[in-house]
Structure 1
């Protein structure tokens, strides 16, 4: 009878070992995917920050052109009639520049939105991979305790946690 119980424990230990090895291999793959997604999300977020900085610079340039245009309007009001065409040309030049700057800035702001969106699309599956990894880690821990206690119920719980982690990781892969 003791021999039969020892043999049953060896069988459970083998299943636990295989189960743990499979989950550890899967965890390695998920860690890699999570790291790639995190890096990509950070790169896109960094791009958004840089583009936002450029857009802010452009708005400052726009304000400078606007101020110069206002000074030219004041100068045109105060200048003699023969100098007024020069100032009107300057005003037109500044208005043209402002339109070009505004168009460029709006384009940069669209790029900021796109970069932020790309970052967010990488963050969602990355969070799912993190949650799947947590479940797999708990399953591996429970499997380790199972090998020490030979408690089959604990192994069933480890299997359920592992299965939940696998399902969540499949869901994460579907959102890539």
Structure 2
């Protein structure tokens, strides 16, 4: 089983074996950021999956609500036909048609209530999806900051520039700060 290394892995390993204290700090720093990135990738994936599930629930409920409104329209059309039949029917048959009209009106009330309940489910599922999307986007931003920090740390290994390492530290701190904010949104 082969294991592929990211481009910066070789540099980090080389720096860890070198005698330079800066290289050791860069190696430790990069390892910490890589571990944090793994955690954030996982959390981002969980949130994305949850947001998609809620969005799927919203679409399914919307479809059911649309079906109910279609059924409502069918009952309404039948009711209108019964009204027409009542007007055209002989007096002795009009009571039958009036009963049918009442039956269709009762069904329409039930159907309408069910459709409205499904529409509330749509709103709730969309709200829950959006609640997952916001921290997911924050985790994505945090990962971007951490990726920049890891890249700068890798370049620091090559150049030995302490200023570049400080910049990598600032980028890593920004990623950490955004990720903490994202966790607070959960």
Q: TM-score range by the shorter chain?
A: over 0.9
Structure 1 equivalent of residue 66 of structure 2: 56
Residues of 2 paired with 1:92 and 1:126: CA distance?
51
Kindly tell me the number of residue pairs found equivalent between the two proteins.
Answer: 169
Measured in 2, the distance between the counterparts of 1:78 and 1:175 equals 65
Partner of 2:6: none
Structure 1 equivalent of residue 83 of structure 2: 73
Distance 1:9 1:98 in 2: 82
Tell me the equivalent position of 1:162.
Answer: 172
1:1-176 aligned within 5 A: 10-176=20-186
How many angstroms apart in 2 are the aligned matches of 1:9 and 1:86? Answer: 99
**Structure 1 spans left out of the alignment, 5+ residues:** 1-7
Counterpart contact for 1:9–1:150, Cα < 8 Å: no
- Provide, for residues 114-163 of structure 1, a one-character-per-residue CA deviation record: whole Å limited to 9, x for no partner: 00000000000000000000000000000000000000000000000000
Structure 2 distance, partners of 1:149, 1:175, is: 38
RMSD, aligned α-carbons: 1.0
Could you tell me how far apart the structure 2 residues matched to 1:79 and 1:139 are? 83
Q: Distance in 2 between matches of 1:92 and 1:138?
A: 69
Aligned partner of residue 116 in structure 1, secondary structure:
helix
Shift of 1:107: 0.2
- TM-score normalised over the length of structure 1: 0.95
Task: Using the TM superposition, give the Cα deviation of residue 26 of structure 1 relative to its aligned residue in structure 2, in angstroms.
Answer: 0.2
Hey, what's the Cα distance between the residues in 2 that align with 1:168 and 1:84? 72
The CA deviation at 1:9 is: 6.8
* Gaps in structure 2 of 5+ consecutive residues: 1-17
> What secondary structure, in the 3-state scheme, does the structure 1 residue paired with 2:20 have?
helix
Residue by residue over 1:62-83, the C-alpha shift from the partner in whole angstroms, topping out at 9 and shown as x without a partner, is: 0000000000000000000110
